[in-house]
Amino acid sequence: MAAEWGGRERALALTAAGIVILGVMLGRAAQLQVFHGGHYRSLSMQNRVKVIAIPSPRGRVLDRQGTVIAESRPGFALVLTGTSNWRPAVNKAARLLAVDSLGLQSAVRQQRSAYPKDPVKLARDLSPAQVALLEEHLAELPGMRLEYEALRHANYGPRGSHLLGYVSEIGRRELESRREQGYRFGDGIGKAGLERQYETLFRGADGCEYVEVDAHGRVQGGIPQMPELPPLPGVDIVLTVDWRLQLFVESLFEPGLTGAAVALEPGTGRILALVSRPNFDPNLFAGGVAAADWDKLSRDPSFPLWDRAIRSLYPPGSTYKVVTALAALSESLITPEIRMRQSCHGGMRIGNRYFKCWKKGGHGSLDMRQAIVQSCDVYFYQLGMMLGVDRLNRWSAAIGLAKATGIDLPQEADGLIPTTSWYEKRLGKGSVTAGIPANLAIGQGEVLATPLQMASLFAALGKRGLAARPHLLLRAVGPDGRLISGEQLDTVRIPIRPEHLAAVAEALDAVVNQPGGTGRAARVQGVTVAGKTGTSQNPHGDDHSWFVGFAPYEDPVIAVAVLVENAGHGSAVAAPMVGKTIGAYLEMTREGPPSLAAAGAP
């Protein structure tokens, strides 16, 4: 009886324990499914559903006539989305792509350390053969997928590379400041030129699609109840540039020539062409620049990534003599007819130094007009000493030098027109001797300017004092054809008396068209070109060759500055390049510029 009771007791105890366990299980199930069901269903959905971004194509770049200079092209990338046990798949992908697996693993670790849940683009801009191979083995690459991407393409390769700039992968530091704007690792971003200046316009809005994935991260298909959100393309930028002229000016820089050229429209500031040599191919950066390509570009002693048109500062040489002449006229130190006390006999002594003129035999006694025509250094040495450093600085600033022009490109240099305090801060009190303003007056020494600044200055001289801010944007057009932004014209009158501007402009006419003028190589049949040669000393090698001019003299439609490094006299190299540029543009526009009206400009 006792044994029977003991068996019943154990059975009751087991039954009670079973009821308690079942109660706990039912309670936990209720907790999971009833009270926290929504939360866990959401987690399950997150594991089962992935959001795949649909890249937006960047807006196009077009010239004033509608020529497409840059646009987006399709590409494919291998993307890692899995967050656990990814090394075997990465090693397999490295073998298929014939790349270093340790390098891929390092890239994954670096990104995942900062953004552990973001997709990692293991390889970009895959070739058709690579895409086919990966497609064949995709089942062996859990947590990976092939993803479409829109890559930037410069349609003319290196042509116009500095004004266009380039697009490359966003860096970690950039991403920290732009993540809230929707940028992710692997996204392209404008790094230089127009691509950087108008990044917010070029970049559209990515779309997305929802897909179902298995436990290994492989895509199983779309989800009908979650429709795709299409991407919104970026804004098209229409430029003031005439691409025909751009290509022509590029062709004038023969292999081995280093320098820059700027052509713009006086009175409006519209950039017609902007060239810097040597150049580079923006397409190298589109899918992430290869290490070998970057090493070659960054180690190249000619600095092909550097925009010489807006960032390089050069002594302007004798092209600066127009500033010295205008300053002396404005200060009533001379009249156009006055001759200097000392005639030119090939040089003059200033203090304990002998300052040479470029013409060893000298120019004799000259008035201002002939001093500009023949580019007599001795005449301008004397003007420089009469003016002094600070008045040269003041009038240079009034005319528009010593500060950036404000062109819509990043990283434009300011230029330099030194003052007495500038010298004393560097060289000490009493450091400004008579020889310093004499040297500055001929565009040597510490006076520095960019080719863009000189083109803008001569454009204002051609328009008899009407200065216009140089710019590239003609209009910005949305994907629906809506005008987003129009051209912004910004003009000002420089504070120089009309008769003084006229006197200097007449001298520039004579530089090109009078017998004995230094700029006769810039002449163009059927049109009057005006301008000034310059040969600037270079402490690192041969002299630089300058010419800056405009045409037609009576009412110019184009101003051009050409600077060729280490090329010698401006009359021999830069002047004929400017003449050819002016002639080509006038021929191109002989029937007028209907392209501007077509592009929506005023």
Q: Give the whole-angstrom CA distance, residue 572 versus residue 568.
A: 8
Same domain, residue pair 63 and 156:
yes
How far CA 54 is from CA of 48, 204, 485, 587, in Å, comes to: 19, 11, 27, 46
For the chain, 602 residues long, the average pLDDT of each consecutive 10-residue run is 46 48 45 44 55 85 97 93 84 92 89 82 92 92 89 96 95 86 87 97 86 62 71 95 98 94 98 97 90 90 96 96 98 95 94 93 95 96 97 96 95 96 93 95 96 98 97 96 95 96 97 94 96 89 93 97 91 95 94 47 34
Q: What does the DSSP assignment read for 291-327?
A: HHHHHHHHH-TT-TTS-TTTT--B--GGGGHHHHHHH
Contact 56, 108 (CB under 8 A): no
How far CA 571 is from CA of 123, 327, 418, 563, in Å, comes to: 52, 25, 28, 12
Angle at 197 between CA 406 and CA 549, to 5 degrees: 40
Q: Which two tokens stand for residue 68?
A: 């497409």
Contact 266, 460 (CB under 8 A): yes
Place of tokens 């030194």: 418
* Packing angle, helices 574-588 and 243-252, rounded to 10: 160
436-440 — which CB contacts under 8 Å span 24+ positions?
436/389, 437/384, 437/385, 437/387, 437/388, 437/389, 437/392, 438/350, 438/355, 438/380, 438/381, 438/382, 438/384, 438/385, 439/355, 439/381, 439/384, 440/384, 440/389, 440/392
Q: Does any domain span residue 330?
A: yes
Q: Does any domain span residue 255?
A: yes
Residue 262: strand pairing partners: 274, 561
Final residue belonging to a domain, choices 204, 234, 264:
234
Residue ranges making up the domain that contains 287: 243-340+402-414+447-598
Q: Does any domain span residue 515?
A: yes
Place of tokens 């003449």: 579
Q: Does any domain span residue 302?
A: yes
Same domain, residue pair 196 and 54:
yes
How far CA 416 is from CA of 390, 440, 449, 453, in Å, comes to: 13, 11, 7, 11
Q: Does any domain span residue 566?
A: yes
115 in helix, strand or coil?
Answer: coil
Q: Give the whole-angstrom CA distance, residue 400 versus residue 396.
A: 6
Same domain, residue pair 73 and 93:
yes
Q: Does any domain span residue 586?
A: yes
Same domain, residue pair 155 and 295:
no
The tally of CA atoms less than 13 A away on the side-chain side of residue 136 is 8
Same domain, residue pair 479 and 540:
yes
Q: In this structure, what CATH number is given to the domain that contains residue 545?
A: 3.40.710.10
Catalytic residues: 318
Contact 61, 246 (CB under 8 A): no
To 10 degrees, the CA torsion angle through 429, 430, 434, 435? Answer: -60
pLDDT at 2: 43
Q: Give the whole-angstrom CA distance, residue 50 versus residue 456.
A: 54
Place of tokens 């990338």: 77
Q: For residue 59, give every residue at least 6 positions away whose Cβ sits within 8 Å of its Cβ, in sequence order, or none.
A: 201, 202, 204, 233, 234, 235, 236, 237, 476, 479
* Ramachandran class of 190: left when φ > 0, alpha when ψ lies in -120 to 50, beta otherwise: beta
pLDDT at 213: 65
pLDDT at 47: 56
* Number of residues that this document lists for the chain: 602
Same domain, residue pair 175 and 321:
no
Final residue belonging to a domain, choices 205, 234, 263:
234
Q: Does any domain span residue 422?
A: no
Q: In this structure, what CATH number is given to the domain that contains residue 98?
A: 3.90.1310.10
Q: Does any domain span residue 389?
A: no
Q: Which two tokens stand for residue 268?
A: 């409006």
Residue 557, φ and ψ in degrees, nearest 5 = -110, -5
pLDDT at 248: 97
CB atoms within 10 A of CB 223: 16
Same domain, residue pair 126 and 248:
no
pTM tops 0.95, yes or no: no
Going by DSSP bridges, is the β-strand pair 61-62/236-239 parallel, antiparallel, or unpaired? parallel
How far CA 271 is from CA of 455, 476, 522, 528, in Å, comes to: 10, 16, 20, 21
Q: For residue 401, give every residue at least 6 positions away whose Cβ sits within 8 Å of its Cβ, in sequence order, or none.
A: 323, 415, 417, 449, 453, 457
pLDDT at 44: 45
Same domain, residue pair 67 and 147:
yes
Final residue belonging to a domain, choices 234, 256, 281:
234
The tally of CA atoms less than 13 A away on the side-chain side of residue 171 is 5
Q: What is the number of structural domains in the chain? A: 2
Same domain, residue pair 99 and 227:
yes
Contact 442, 320 (CB under 8 A): yes
51 burial type by CB count under 10 A (0-12 exposed, 13-18 middle, 19+ buried): exposed
Same domain, residue pair 153 and 257:
no
Same domain, residue pair 157 and 253:
no
Same domain, residue pair 587 and 523:
yes
Which helix (H) or strand (E) element contains residue 153?
Answer: strand 144-154
